[in-house]
Amino acid sequence: MATVLIVEDNEPSRDALARRLERRGYTALMAVDGTQGVSLARSAKPDLILMDLGLPGIDGWEATNRLKNDRETRDIPVIVLSAHAMTNDRDLALAAGGDDFDTKPVQFQRLIGKIEALLAKRVPR
CB of 73 to another protein, least distance (A): 26
Does residue 85 bind another protein (CB under 8 A)? Answer: yes
- 85 backbone φψ class: left, alpha, beta (φ>0; ψ -120 to 50): left
Residues 6+ apart with CB under 8 A from 95: none
Size of the site for another protein (CB under 8 A): 19
For residues 35-74, which are near another protein according to CB under 8 A?
54
Q: What is the DSSP string of 22-41?
A: HHTT-EEEEESSHHHHHHHH
Does residue 90 bind another protein (CB under 8 A)? Answer: no
By the criterion CB under 8 A, which residues form the site for another protein? 10, 12-13, 16-17, 19-20, 23, 54, 83-87, 103-106, 108
